[in-house]
Structure 1
């Protein structure tokens, strides 16, 4: 049995999908972060200047409109922080929220506090309870790791359709590859066809009337017809989540919810129980590796945390079982049932790969996220 190799500059090891180590013992994900930092001049004066140029363009293109950009909000740190920064930059944002009906009370209150304190208008799309529960049950029955994929796709579709409705060209997103890390390729894939196929096979509702799924046609329409630009300011800036939280608390009374992804119950269930227990997937290595790369903790400190089992919340498990109408026996049968992945269902993956040259051009023009191009448009080597 070969020895497990650990990256020299993070805590990703040889068990991580599609990982490679160079002659210096550094993994390809760390090198990807280094490359992105060079490309976006992250934390450098040049990066700030490039972002300022984009902001000025947003102002020019939005002249005469009530809103010049859309910011998707979840009640979490990054999106809430961007609402504050957008006003400092002189932008006129519309906050957009996708409510999958599984929000924590803290997240809901955070959204209210921040938008009220900053006097920012909020547009919310609320999913029908029955559809939300039917989608989550379907993904559990499918036995795939992406339990919460419908939320991610639904959120993006709501943001893009709302931008189109109000004639807004720019979508600002609060993601930082430096602070949040890089998710490994192959263990976390989803698209609109994937969601459609799983619901068709395992859902009970014949039609989803309020769920905003994103088809390939719609995805291309937002990019090529509406020319919506996806801007991630935190890719350009020297960003600290800790400083962002302090600013939010000071200016809006915002409250911390306890950890990454924990502002929503479906995401919390995914990360603290479903994936660790059913698939032995512990995604804490994303953010822990980011902390090691940025010098916020040593590799050994991060490994010590990562080697400590994930703690699940009994109240959260009870909530999931009740919402999904699963008995203890049914819940355990699903947790112990077959393990599948996206390769067992219909997806757009091959189409994205075939159109990689086009998506490279679109990513360079900010018409699709660069992270989409890097994660979804290349063949996956790891079949685990």
Structure 2
């Protein structure tokens, strides 16, 4: 559950909190050094050193990658693909690509739950930058059936189908246009690295839950199976690049720039550009599972010196912002009665270990995925999160 509110300038003492950020002992797979600094802070430090984040070597590495992208894309309509959501990071990534002289194709996976502001943001930025858009629209009844299945399964990852579908759609768009590079607007500095064991998902997980609890066929949903993942990374060899991992990127500065230059609008908070995502972060995760993912971003702000620990803890202690009538909208759209919805929220939580996944396969193939991560054919964050056993990994599947 959310932490006890801060009293004065002191952080709570009923459980241990990292002396550098605000991760506490309830975070999965956390550990502390002699100075009380958590292993996730050290992980960020290691990534900064490895990627040269915000340093000259990081800039040089990214510039070399840009030259590789241009060379590979010579003579083609596009030289890279960028997934867009209408949020800060993906919108700024479009601008950054243009600044580097790249010719991106914007790709959007429309799960039919977008907020109006996010949709306007996408079109405003694309119009100003003269970038083409490819959109994959899933059947709304089909995607709602997948969301419903995850809630009936009692697991937290109701957004898994959206995240994995966007990855698959970007691969498909890149392959269709013979593009070898996907640029992702993720920053481990501003967003942190999600704790190990939290928010796991893969194609088998989605498929197994849908087969058990779903009612409609998956016909328009772009499922990424293990075989497709291997094809994209090992045979098609489409690289995934995260430019913000190399640069001194500020989400706050990016937001101000987008508002000033393109009339982009802020949607009220991190991950609130989509109504299902807003429901997950503001209601479902904290109320059913006692998980508040705001600590990822707040901890990152503290590490970066943009917020002090007391202020961050106080913000973390406040209830998440929730759109009025959002719960009613989600319940009715997914076809739950009030009593059915209440029963789901009150039921004993389950997690990804209760259903078949590819997790053990990823662990067995860890050397392969390490090589792929080093070659930027899979994200390094995938290797770090999915290819190692966590302390509670006892399910042999």
TM-score scaled by structure 1? Answer: 0.98
What are the ranges of 5 or more consecutive residues in structure 2 without an aligned counterpart?
A: 1-12
- 2:389 is aligned to 379
Quick one: distance in 1 between partners of 2:76 and 2:117? Answer: 32
Q: Deviations over 1:5-29 (max 9, x none)?
A: 1111100011110001111211110
| Structure 1 residue 313: Cα displacement | 2.6
**Residue 244 (structure 2) aligned to one of 234, 252, 256:** 234
Q: How many residues align?
A: 382
Quick one: distance in 2 between partners of 1:251 and 1:275? Answer: 35
| Structure 1 residue 309: Cα displacement | 2.3
Pair 1:141 & 2:148 matched: no
RMSD: 1.2
| Structure 1 residue 39: Cα displacement | 0.3
- 2:74 is aligned to 63
Are the counterparts in 2 of residues 17 and 382 from structure 1 also a CA contact under 8 Å?
Answer: no
**Residue 45 (structure 1) aligned to one of 22, 39, 56:** 56
Quick one: distance in 1 between partners of 2:171 and 2:328? Answer: 34
| Structure 1 residue 3: Cα displacement | 4.8
Runs ≥4 residues deviating over 4 A: none
- 1:105 is aligned to 116
Quick one: distance in 2 between partners of 1:257 and 1:234? Answer: 22
| Structure 1 residue 251: Cα displacement | 2.0
Pair 1:169 & 2:180 matched: yes
| Structure 1 residue 316: Cα displacement | 1.2
**Residue 357 (structure 1) aligned to one of 367, 379, 384:** 367
**Residue 225 (structure 1) aligned to one of 228, 231, 235:** 235
Please identify, of 180-189 and 309-318, the stretch whose mean Cα deviation from structure 2 is larger: 309-318
Are the counterparts in 2 of residues 18 and 184 from structure 1 also a CA contact under 8 Å?
Answer: yes
What are the ranges of 5 or more consecutive residues in structure 1 without an aligned counterpart?
A: none
Q: Deviations over 1:119-158 (max 9, x none)?
A: 1000000010111110010000000010111000111000
Quick one: distance in 2 between partners of 1:175 and 1:198? Answer: 28
Alignment of 1:87-166 (within 5 A): 87-166=98-177
Quick one: distance in 1 between partners of 2:109 and 2:96? Answer: 21
| Structure 1 residue 78: Cα displacement | 0.4
Corresponding residue SS for 1:314: coil
Are the counterparts in 2 of residues 169 and 228 from structure 1 also a CA contact under 8 Å?
Answer: yes
Quick one: distance in 1 between partners of 2:323 and 2:288? Answer: 16
